[in-house]
Amino acid sequence: MTVRIGVVGTGWIGAEHIRRITTSICGAEVVAVTDIDADRAAGAVEGTGARVLSSEEEVIAAQDVDAVVVASWGPAHAESVLAAIKAGKPVLCEKPLATSVEDCHRIMEAEAAHGSRLVQVGFMRRYDAGYLQMKRVLDSGDLGTPLMAHCVHRNQSVPEAYHSEMEARDTAVHEIDTLRWLTGQEVATAQVLTPRRTALRHEHLVDPQIILLEMADGSRVDIEVFVNCQYGYEIGCEIVGEKGTVRLPEVPAPVVRSSGSAGTEVPQDWVDRFDPAFDAEFTEWVDTVRRGAEPAGAGAWDGYAAAAVCDAAVQALHSGEVVPVGMAPRPALYGDAQ
């Protein structure tokens, strides 16, 4: 069976996912899309055979749509996800699941009322080969208990609309999810340090930032977020355990010797760096939809936990204080472990 997918939001990542479903992975096709910018939607499906509909309601309700991908702007995510749950259709929602913890609660309540999990959140790093290798090492117990993690998240530059709170909510949210998943620990507190600002930024932006997390077991995570680093896209992660360390491997790239120097190209953005992880994420998700199984990636609880940590980090950015993360008890639907 070919899984027939409807896509809500056909901007940068929406168009990437349409291309991915159409040309990179097997077992699925895009049959309907929508975007508040109809021309953009038409451009994204050119040559695919998918139709452009005028609203997300039409996409989600369409008889030939088996599952939904949400790739619109963050503030629009919650209503689309709730509509998909109401229709009983699996939904893969790009991060963030929602822009408030209240909306994340509404989504978890809707899933509970449905009686099984339908939501996967697009935390694609859980499918990156390097992070998966790190997880295997950590799960083996060879390093003992994790004590510290040092993370780096650098973007070449960001548009003027990107503001200081987005360093947590839009960018470090990936490390927040990844560290919860790698260590099996929830985040207890957040603090934000603001080093000297780069001159190569839009005036309003606090960049770089160092986000410090304390996990529930007392281990610590530091995340350098620097979204105007100029040279490209770089992701780093090292975890220090009682008996050893594990570091995210560099993505293999050819070493070029020329004109008296040797070097490798640096990825320029998240598409360059994580394309294989997105492919793996979609391949698995499509397979779960085809089998009628619950999604295997990050779920609504993970989306909620990330939102709660981001709230604390944003409060910490403004106050300069160490801010506790307020977390509700984990609903039974989401099990005990990460």
Contacting residues toward ligand NAD, per CB under 6 A: 8-14, 34-37, 40, 56, 71-74, 76, 94-95, 122, 124, 170, 270
Q: How far apart are CB 248 and ligand NAD at their closest, in Å?
A: 16
The half-sphere exposure of 273 on its side-chain side, counting CA atoms within 13 A, is 21
Q: What, of ligand NAD, ligand ISE, none, does residue 171 touch, CB below 5 to 8 Å by kind?
A: ligand ISE
Q: Which of 181, 270, 282, 285 binds ligand ISE (CB under 6 A)?
A: 270
Residue 123, CA distances (Å) to 195, 208, 322 in order:
28, 23, 26
User: What is the amino acid identity at position 307?
Assistant: A
DSSP 96-158: PS-SSHHHHHHHHHHHHHHTS--EEE--GGGG-HHHHHHHHHHHHTTT-SEEEEEEEEE-S--
Pick from 80, 120, 155, 185 the residue near ligand ISE by CB under 6 A. 155
Nearer to ligand NAD, 108 or 310 (CB): 310
User: Does 170 contact ligand ISE by CB under 6 A?
Assistant: yes
Tokens of 296: 């295997």
Note the maximum CA span of the chain. 65
Nearest approach, Cβ of residue 279 and ligand NAD (Å): 13
Residue 178 contacts ligand ISE per CB under 6 A: no
Give me the DSSP letters along 65-108: --EEEE-S-HHHHHHHHHHHHHTT--EEEPSPS-SSHHHHHHHH
The one of ligand NAD, ligand ISE, none whose footprint includes residue 122, by CB under 5 to 8 A per kind, is: ligand NAD
What's the number of CA atoms in the CB half-sphere (13 Å) around residue 170? 17
- Using CB distances below 5 to 8 A depending on partner kind, what does residue 155 bind out of ligand NAD, ligand ISE, none? ligand ISE
Contact status: 106 vs ligand ISE (CB under 6 A): no
CB of 29 to ligand ISE, least distance (A): 25
Query: Which positions touch ligand ISE (CB under 6 A)?
Result: 155, 170-171, 174, 227, 270
